[in-house]
Structures are given as C-alpha cells and as structure tokens.
A and B are shown apart, each in its own frame.
Chain A
Amino acid sequence: QVQLVQSGAEVKKPGASVNVSCKTSGYTFTAYYMHWVRQAPGQGLEWMGRINPNSGGTNYAQKFQGRVTMTRDTSISTAYMELSGLRYDDTAVFYCATVTMDDALKWGQGTLVTVSS
C-alpha cells in the first residue's frame, strides 16, 4: 500500500533552514504530484506547494515564494522540502501528501519543526 515516511523532528534557530524528507513506497513515485502542507500549532492546514516528481517542476504558494524549495530524488523515491529564513511563526508540523488516482491526498506522518533560539 501507499506509504509516505517523513524525517524526524527538528529544532532550528531563527534565520536557519530546514530540510524535510518524504520517502515513498507502494506506488510509482513519478506518476503523481507531491504536495507539502503546513499546520501551525492549533491551526488549520495550509498548502505550501507541489512538485512534479517526473519533471521536477514546482508550483509554490505565493506566501512561501522565495523561501521554499521542493526537490526530489527519483532513484530513491523521495521528495524534499526546504524552508529557509525560518521565523518563530514557522513552528509547525509539515506534511507531505501525494495525490492518489481519485485526486485525494494521502498523507505522511508529519514532521514537527520548532523554531527556537
């Protein structure tokens, strides 16, 4: 079955960058877009952007333009999301989610990123 396994929790200082990985299995990695979603503590789901694992092409939400970079390594079926210039309000759980055949989202387990001095 489809599985998305994300990297572990991170603690970063303000201004630093964080790189979250999302290793996939159970489906053809290059066949479906990978999306990234942020959820701040006690808040809702916020779409950050997506990557086409086949071409590497990306689309980012305007809010994150210039700070987020999404990449992939097709040899290991893994997607990555890097967020730079971290601020305290970037403290959140970051999810990768792939689109299924029915256009629904299948989610990873989430990665908590804490920004703290």
Chain B
Amino acid sequence: SYELTQPPSVSVSPGRTASIPCSGDKLGDKFIFWYLQKPGQSPVLVIYQDTKRPSGIPERFSGSNSGNTATLTISGTQAMDEADYYCQAWDSSTAVFGGGTKLTVL
C-alpha cells in the first residue's frame, strides 16, 4: 500500500519560514493536499492540488510537489500557525495520510 512520510515535528521562530516535507514514491505524479488541525478541532484544508489555496487561507501558506517530495511552506510564520499538519494523497481512490507534523512556533 502507498505510504506518505512526514517528520513528527518542526520548530520555527515567529516571522521565519517553516517548511514541512512529505515524501512518497513518485509523489510528484499525484496531487497532494495539506490539512491543518488544531487541538480538539477537525482538519482544515490549507493547500489543494499541490499549490492552490482555498479562499480564506492566508497567502503565507504555499505548496510544491515534485519527484518524491511535497513541501508545505509557511512564510512569516505566526503563533496562530502552531498546529498539526497532515499531507494527503489519493491512491486507487483510497485517502492516504502522512503521519502528521507538529509545528511549534517558538
């Protein structure tokens, strides 16, 4: 079965750029989706189809996907961005999730 791998944690200082990688075999051939989840809340879509931002998501969120790695980038990270981030792809109509990355802003 297809697998997506994320680092368990990433730390960033306020105002700096955070990069969260997600790796998988030939991941660049698939669309990647990124979700943010804060404690006690449902996941919220922040990037879809590799690079697109839903309405209401700040411009500081961006995405890329090539080769075996997709990356979520948060520019000018704010304290409110502290959350768990999950990458997701479709494999034979199955939703495959990365293990999640806890972003700490300190």
The interface of chain A, by Cβ under 8 A from chain B, is 33, 35, 37, 44-47, 50, 59, 61, 95, 102-110
User: Pick the contact of A37 from B45, B93, B95, B98 — CB < 8 Å?
Assistant: B95
Q: A44-B97, A44-B98 are in contact. List 4 more A-B contacts (CB 8 A).
A: A47-B94, A103-B48, A105-B43, A107-B44
Tell me which residues across on chain A come within 8 A of B45, comparing CB atoms. Answer: 104-106
12 A-B residue pairs with CB within 8 Å: A37-B97, A45-B88, A95-B42, A102-B48, A103-B90, A104-B33, A104-B49, A105-B33, A105-B35, A105-B95, A107-B43, A107-B44
B43 touches A45 (CB 8 A): yes
A103 touches B99 (CB 8 A): no
Interface residues on B, range: 20 to 34
On whether A45 and B31 interact (CB within 8 A), knowing A105-B45, A109-B42, the answer reads: no
User: Pick the contact of A45 from B52, B54, B86, B93 — CB < 8 Å?
Assistant: B86
6 A-B pairs with least C-beta separation: A107-B42, A45-B97, A104-B48, A47-B95, A44-B100, A44-B99
CA distance A61 to B88 in the complex (A): 16
B86 touches A103 (CB 8 A): no
Q: Which of A44, A47, A102 has the most CB of B within 10 A?
A: A44
Nearest A residue to B43 via CB reads A107
Decide if B96 is an interface residue (CB 8 Å cutoff).
yes
Tell me which residues across on chain A come within 8 A of B98, comparing CB atoms. Answer: 44
B100 touches A45 (CB 8 A): yes
Tell me which residues across on chain A come within 8 A of B31, comparing CB atoms. Answer: 103
Nearest A residue to B95 via CB reads A47
On whether A110 and B86 interact (CB within 8 A), knowing A47-B95, A102-B52, A103-B48, the answer reads: no
Contact flags (1/0) for B33-54 with A, using CB distance below 8 Å? 1010000001111001100101
Nearest A residue to B52 via CB reads A102
Tell me which residues across on chain B come within 8 A of A106, comparing CB atoms. Answer: 45
